[in-house]
Amino acid sequence: MTRRTLLGGAAARALAGSGASPDFRLTDVTGAAGIQFRHNSGAFGAKYLPETMGPGCAFFDYDADGWLDILLVNGMGWGGLDNAGHRRERTTMRLYRNNRNGTFTDVTERAGLAVEMYGMGVAIGDYNNDGFPDLLVTAVGQNRLFQNNGRGRFLDVTEKAGLGGRSAFSTSAMWFDFDRDGLLDLLVCNYVKWSAAHDVFCSVDGKRKSYCTPEAYHGETCWLFRNRGNGTFEDVTAKSGIFDSSSKSLGVALLDYDRDGWPDLLIANDTQPNKLYHNLRNGTFEDVAVRAGVAFSDDGKARAGMGVDTADFDNSGAESIAITNFDNEMMALYRPGRDGTYKDAAQAGGVGQASRASLGFGCAFLDIDLDGRLDLVAVNGHIDETVRRIHGNVGYAQAPHLFLNDGKGGFRDVAAQAGGGFASPKVARGLAYGDFDRDGSPDLLITTNQGAAYLYRNQQLSGNRGVRLHLTGTKSNRDAIGAVARVFAPEGAQSRRVKSGSSYLSQSELTLTFGLGKRDAASRLVIEWPSGAVQEFKNVRAGSYQCTEGQGLTAG
């Protein structure tokens, strides 16, 4: 660490302590919205590793009515897995339909999603380009692909799509069009080779069993499935070069690190080097993480990467990378240099020290105060409920971080000032954002391990406005995943990418949000579609817009 980064970090910390009130307010509306969810990890004392790793959540508009709905992934009792009779209740993921009045209705049964499985994460994408988002729910065991029939129901097409017959400890997943053929392909992260039958005994005190760290298990490769366009997928894991049986992957994010227009992948690994898969444009990838400087920490250590997100948080036009790690490892905030390498700016930016005692999971860049600068939210919670006995400064339930971007490379954690009990300690895992009440501000959804889900409504206090942009591809994949939109204003240009994946086990809305602060309009909007097409619009006023590839910009 250089003296400059140290001083920068100190300055950022000093700023963090300034206690200035943020320009937004969060309100816990979980109960008011009618969301009654409790994660079932199946824990009964055996301390199976998956029990402490989930679940994920998602904001998505399953019925295409323009209002974001909520999906909460759930686990289940182990009875069906270990034949030990430990099942206590039937639990399934929950789908909540947005009633457009701030409340939600549980439509799980009706939607055909009351499927009992040990769910972990979710990735949402319209893989068949029919205009309705489909679901890939990852699990310990068999992942499931649910096709949205457009009439409010989901069909389990796992086997039909060629994704059946695979059992693994899957975690995050992501839809993206790696070969740019207009069809969404699927990447699934797998953690370790684990099964209840081959569980390993680990103990902190030498007596009682505790959750093992991943070193106790062999890694498992991620899977890459290419969309054939006929409803089936081809496993191209080996062919694409993604295969790596040593990986212990928990998070995946989309980016274009070399800005060549071809989607690259950042995969966060737990105790293994992170992977940055460079798309070689021929259906194969090359891992350049070591070369790019994102594989290890600054001191050459493979950290316990959990969640990951990528975004142009410094409005430089290039995407940076945030990765949550284990406690005492600090979050990583990799900023790109000009030579294709990244530098970890977490310490200098005030994120490192603030996150030192946190075990982070879900994380996301979003402009929570609509000031035109992407902020960073990270949710935390330990995996071991007895951790405080071992590390006095680390708790099992931990407060989330809400780092406000000061526009100069620095962040200050305002979670405690955000309101709504947002900073209350949680054993948080999943994190997603989406504007469920359509007020123009991104709201937050958090899941906790063996606990409740939290829905936080975000309200602007200083009148900041933004441009919301929903893209629909025609030549490109219909969800426009991979598209980049750039909004230009006198202060500079903001760029946002339409992404699946990111965070941890979770999926945020695909609609892009550009904060304009007090401005009425952006001078220019440029959309770079995955197909290569580029569209430009002038003088875009604050508000919500739809844009279909090759067509105009429409309000709504």
Partner 1 sequence: MPHLAPVTVAPPTVLVSLHKSGMPQPRSPTVRLVAGLAITLSAVALYSGYTVRQLHGLERLQGGIIDRNRADSLLLLRIQNNLNSLGLAMRDMLEGSEPYPLTAWQGQFRRIRTDLEDAIAREAQSSPLDRDADQRKYLSDSLGQFWDALDRIFGLAQSGQEAEARTLIRLSLQARQEALSTAVARLLVQNNESEQQAGARIRGVYAGVERNVYLFVAAMLVLILLTSLYLVHYNRRLFEEVAVLSARRSELAQQLIAMQENTFRSISRDLHDDFGQILTAVGAMLQRTSRRPADPDSLGADLREVQEIVQSTLDKVRALSHALHPVILDEIGFEGALDQYLPGFQKQTGIEVHYEKSGAACELDRAVAIHLYRVMQEALNNIAKHSQSNRAEVRLRFLPEAVVLEVEDHGVGFGRSHAYGMGLVSMRERADLVNGRLDLENCSSGGALVRLTVPATGQEAHA
Verify binding: residue 475, partner 1, rule CB under 8 A.
no
* Collapsed DSSP state (helix, strand, coil) of residue 238: helix
- Judged by CB, which is closer to partner 1: 70, or 187? 187
The candidate with the shortest Cα–Cα distance to 185, out of 174, 195, 194, is: 174
Please report whether residue 235 would count as binding partner 1 according to CB under 8 A: yes
Site for partner 1 in 92-151 (CB under 8 A): none
Q: Which two tokens stand for residue 482?
A: 């991979």
Other Cβ atoms less than 10 A from the Cβ of 556: the count is 9
Q: Which residues contact 248 (CB under 8 A, 6 or more apart)?
A: 191, 192, 214, 217, 219, 220, 269, 270, 271, 272
Q: Which is nearer to partner 1, 89 or 299 (CB)?
A: 299
The torsion angle over the Cα atoms of residues 286, 292, 296 and 302, rounded to 10 degrees, is: 0
Contact (CB, 8 A) for 355 and 12:
no
461 touching partner 1, by CB under 8 A? no
Taking the complex as a whole, how short is the minimal distance between the CB of residue 384 and partner 1, in angstroms? 25
What is the DSSP pairing of strand 484-489 with strand 492-497?
antiparallel
Under the criterion CB under 8 A, does residue 244 sit at the interface with partner 1? yes
Q: Does 245 bind partner 1 (CB under 8 A)?
A: yes
200 lines the binding site for partner 1 (CB under 8 A): no
- Lay out the site mask for partner 1 across 283-322 (x = CB under 8 A, - = otherwise): ----x--x---------x----------------------
**Interaction between residue 6 and partner 1 (CB under 8 A):** no
* Whole-angstrom distance, CA of residue 167 vs CA of residue 540: 48
From CA 393, how far away is CA 286, in angstroms rounded?
40
Q: Does 264 bind partner 1 (CB under 8 A)?
A: no
Q: Which of 16, 71, 242, 267 binds partner 1 (CB under 8 A)?
A: 242
238 lies in the site for partner 1, by CB under 8 A: yes
CB of 308 to partner 1, least distance (A): 19
Name the segment binding partner 1 (CB under 8 A); options: 84-92, 214-222, 389-397, 526-534: 214-222
CB of 241 to partner 1, least distance (A): 4
Looking at this protein, which amino acid is placed at residue 183?
L
Take residue 57 and report the two structure tokens written for it. 């959540």
208 is a contact residue toward partner 1 (CB under 8 A): no
The Cα 395–Cα 393 span in angstroms is 7
Residue 164 touching partner 1 (CB under 8 A): no
CB-wise, 241 or 409, nearer to partner 1? 241
> How many beta carbons lie within 10 A of that of residue 186, not counting itself?
24
Task: Tell the smallest beta-carbon distance from residue 244 to partner 1 (Å).
Answer: 5
Indicate the SS3 state at residue 514.
strand
**Site membership for partner 1, residue 269 (CB under 8 A):** no
Residue pair 195/519 in contact by the 8 Å Cβ criterion: no
Sole window of 84-92, 234-242, 324-332, 335-343 interacting with partner 1 (rule: CB under 8 A): 234-242
Nearer to partner 1, 77 or 214 (CB): 214
Give me 295's structure tokens. 């594989």
Q: Which of 88, 110, 218, 538 binds partner 1 (CB under 8 A)?
A: 218
60-76 burial string, b = 16+ CB within 10 Å, else e?
bbbbeeebbbbbbbbbb
Q: Does 14 bind partner 1 (CB under 8 A)?
A: no
Residues that bind partner 1 (CB under 8 A): 218-219, 221, 235, 237-239, 241-246, 273, 287, 290, 300
